[in-house]
Structure 1
Amino acid sequence: MKLITRTNLFLVSLVFFQAFLAYNFLTISLVNFSQKDGYKTIENDLITIRNHYRQFKDQFWRDLIHVDNKWAEGQTKINLDNPDEALPYLMSMIHSDKLDYLIIKNGEKRVGINIRHPFTEFPYEEIPFFEAKWHPTVFNYRSGQSLFMIGTLQLSPGLRVNIIKELNDQFSKDLSYNISAGIILYTGDSAISGTLDPDYYFEKIVQLESLTKASVVDEPFYDIPLYGKSYNIYLSRFDTLIDKETEIKLALFSPNLSMKQRFTSIKNQFLLISIFCVALAMFISLFISKSISKPVQVLGQSMTSLKNGYFPKVKPVNKATEINILFNDFNCMVERIKYNSSQQIALIQEITFLKTYNEQIVESIQEGIAIVDATGHLNLMNRAFYDFCPAIKDMEIPHVREIPFWNEHLEENLNLVKRKDIQNFAYISRNDDGQLIDIRLYPLRNTGYDRATENSCVLMLEDITVKDQVESQLLQLEKLNSLSILTAGVAHEINNPLASIMSNVENLHIDENDLESQTSVTWIKKEIRRIANIIKGLFDFTGSNQKGQTEGLLTSTWPSRVSHYMKYVLKNNPDIQFSIITPELDTNSVIPDDEILQILINIINNAVQALEHQGRIELITEGRQIDDESFLVIKIVDDGPGIQPENIKRIFDPFFTTKPVGKGTGLGLSIVYGLVNNYGGSVNVESSPGKGCTFSLIIPRERRCEG
């Protein structure tokens, strides 16, 4: 089925469905409204009738009270023997023009008159006189099929007056004045009067009363069919007879025909409107579906092309319609997909490049690297790892226990690292080839995207055989440096007294004449020269007697040698931080590297001792021009306790030291000062208590050969 047909059927069905819902809703609403309106009308009619009845009864009371008041004033005296005189006078006291009868009884004698028709006789002897009270009394009395409202008053002992209103059909008409409903007054067994035929409608009243509970009235009935017509009926208590038990009831019959006619007319009009709307919907749906189906077909074809990997564009119409907006949005979507596709391809290429790049980096690292998963199996091993463990090269998924130098101690700490109980673990082992291998374990950081890497760790293997040899050499160098410092100190301590002894011995040789003494003095001189030669050898060993050189080496190696030396020092002082900052790439000077190393080691050793195992040391180099001459400036900066101002001037004096006895000779800075000065340089010190110390070595650069 084509889209246009489906669209038409859908729209028509939708209109039919809406019309059906609206019709049912309108029907229910009209029924409810009609019922409520009918109830409201009949209730208003009941209120109007009750008000008319109350007004009549109030006037009835006022007439009795007026007669009683006039009699009490003594303005008249009734002569019952002359009714033509007494009755007109009493009638003049009554204001109401709606009373029917007036009866006077004095003892056993009665006189009566028909008020509405004075010259018409009526059987007033048949109306009983009930026991009267001294105050006015009003009650209802039924005689046969007639109903009377009687007002009685005792004017004096034996003298009574009754005023009477017959509640007949005329009375019912007066009660229902200005209302459209018909009424019937009835008691329990028969109808009495009304504006409708009592015998004709009383049978329906009896049927309706049988539907109420225990003959309780005051209940409305809606849309009751009666002799081919429809009525809204209301049964209500109205009044009681003199016995106060027998009720006078009122039945209101409000015709419901006009409401039914209006209801039917509205439904017919709505049905016609619904049919018109359905026809209009069919016409509009045909028109709209044609304008929609073609663009939808174009859009569908474009979507198919997009699915096949092409990026088509649809040509928008020249109207500001929803279809045009849809086409523009589709074109924007195609452009966005095209852009995202190109970006995705670029990202894939970048990820592939990074993957390859990282793999190359990992493969280029000389240390062996592998991932140990939660079960202890090895994954993602680089080539260097296989060099350490060639036995596992042919295994598909080797276990750490397959590593030749693996042991239980490593197994225990591997589990601790995987559970992150410890952050790292290091262990040194020697393999069968004599290689010294540094084994390190680190927890593998899990970003949360890969559950498979949980409880995994990184295993690194490094051959530290050469490094161990270098560190051994540095340790030997430090020992030699310490011995050099000690030798220089001993040489300085011995050289001065030895010169004094030699001078005195020379004097003894001149003054002495005997052979034995001359022999002793000669032997002493010989031994003194031997000691001097030993001291000279010590000075040659320490380098204190070297002269300044005019040319240095072409390549400077002292920065790397200082770094190697400090690695050993920092092993014993792990809380000391050391760094070399050499923005000046040319670190050559006129001082040979060995002597620069000796100078720097002396100053750095003093800084390490002053920091007391915790602090920071920086070695900074920079170039400086002074009077067109190039210098290399080396600064050694520490954040130790500093030097007291009174000691700064003496720190270069031989044998001056602030260290405890046995901790220093006081020759280190003297040797530094002497060596730098021998090569035309200078040493400066900047320090204050609590703010560290800075030694600045200003050394002439090496003179380079041209050509």
Structure 2
Amino acid sequence: MLIHLRSKIIALVLFAVVLAVAGTVFFTTKNFLEDKRNYITDVNSVASAHASKLLSQILENYRNEFEHLNDLLPRGGNAFAERLQQIEGLEQVRIYDVKKNLLLSAGRTGKNEDMSWVEKDIEVFKATGKALFKTPNEKSFLFISQIDNHVYAATFDNRSLLSGFNLASALNVSLINGDGEILVENKETKIWSDPAIKTFAAEFFAAHQNQQVWARVLSLQEGPRVLVAISPLDGLKQVGVIVSVPDAESAHLASQITRNSIPFVVGILILVSLLALLFSSRLTRSLEDLTKATSLISGGNWDVQFSYRSRDEVGQLGKAFRKMGKELKIREEDLRKAHNKVLRSEKLASLGQFSAGVAHEIKNPLTSILTYAQLIERKLGVEQDNPHSPGQFAKYIVEETLRANRIVTDLLTFARQKAPTLTSQNIVALTESTLALMAPQLETAAVTLHRQYDPTSTLMVAVDADQIRQVMSNLIMNSSQAMEEQSAEKKNITVSLAQESDEMVMKIADTGPGIAPENLGKIFEPFFSTKATGKGTGLGLSMCHGIIQQHQGQISVNSKVGEGAEFEIRLPLA
């Protein structure tokens, strides 16, 4: 009878151990596999969206070049040819009128080369609006754009678009159209020729093109499952960037965890079957603790405090679970940090470097142009009654050069934001001095300024005075410019200061037209502006956002269309 009871104890303990370990490994592996797959999907989505924005900008630059060429077309001659040479990646350009008559052909092409396919693609462009096509040699692409009464059909080397794939260089990335045709790819792979990819692209452009990114797990007809994400190009119909990663990448580590768990399970089973009669009570207590620990892990509590009292396999298993919980916690934190940083850090880093380089190269020629234009203006004089006089033209050049110089200065300021030099400042006095400097401009614009604070009070904050003054000036000027079209009695700006807990809260509100809901989430992005062309660079609010963040503060906006806008700044007290 005693032996039978011990056999039951052994069987029960073995069953409990098998159930607990198997359940823990299963759920841990399942959750980890899902987290890994979600992480890769997020990386794919970020990579496709980033590449889409870069390619959209490259193609928009090409269209701008076409507009410039269209302006030079009537003159012809060296100016037109020199401009062609400056377009990076351009192989050939053919210009047609609206009746499809060839007006001009320039670039590298053989004398007897058949170019009839270009006219066919132009017919598709006119019928469907598609602007990107694959060329017969598959080493270049055709970009078609209509400028006024001319149709520009230009072939570019595929490498001119590969710079847009830099962030996703480790992934499989390609430019795809609604027919599933690959226009440009960063790596040669059989994945893109699979019918499932073409079906996925067709479904996206038919029903989901309004989404910024669309991601799925896709089962290929001629291969394994892949994680894919696609993002449309701005301003082009049925063209997008698609990114793929084999699903095996996400399953590899999970399967490794499962394989590594097998020796532990086998060891525990052997140990329990041999020593259960002698250590049944002790083993039971250890298993109870282990069950609690695994329940905490499966519930997402990675800080497992498993007290292992023995030095056998059960104790080693407790150490393994504790180590696994710490590692999973670290990985979870890394995933969250990577997800938050990758959207902004990579974009701002590349954008800042590009902006600094371009601005530096442009600023010196602008200075020379401005100097000579001012000399011409002084020499010729400005005839106020004759807007077409040479002196008036020189004045226009000076004004536009000054505007271009301001834009370049904004670019340099954005690209080279310096760390703030924090000193303890009375934010009330700082606000008063800023408003005093801006008073003449507001008075000229017929804007009424209201204060909702005591100008004689004291509220100390650790800030860089120049940078905070720049933020306030930028926000107030934005509010003033937003109300330009309103009557004087409707132009009001209210500045308020208050202390909330351990924070200083500043609010700058206006009675302007407000901000559209779809723009609220984008106003702090670089180069985003709702102002008319020529009246803003879209860098002011982005610089304000960067300055406040460097001060360990927060900046936000509340607005309703027709009810004005209110910007709120929160900074820690000194």
Place the TM-score, normalised by the shorter chain, in its bin: 0.3 to 0.5
Larger Rg: 1
Q: Tell me the TM-score normalized by structure 1.
A: 0.31
Q: Which has the higher helix share?
A: 2
- Greater relative CO (CA pairs within 8 A, separation 6+): 2
Q: Tell me the TM-score normalized by structure 2.
A: 0.36
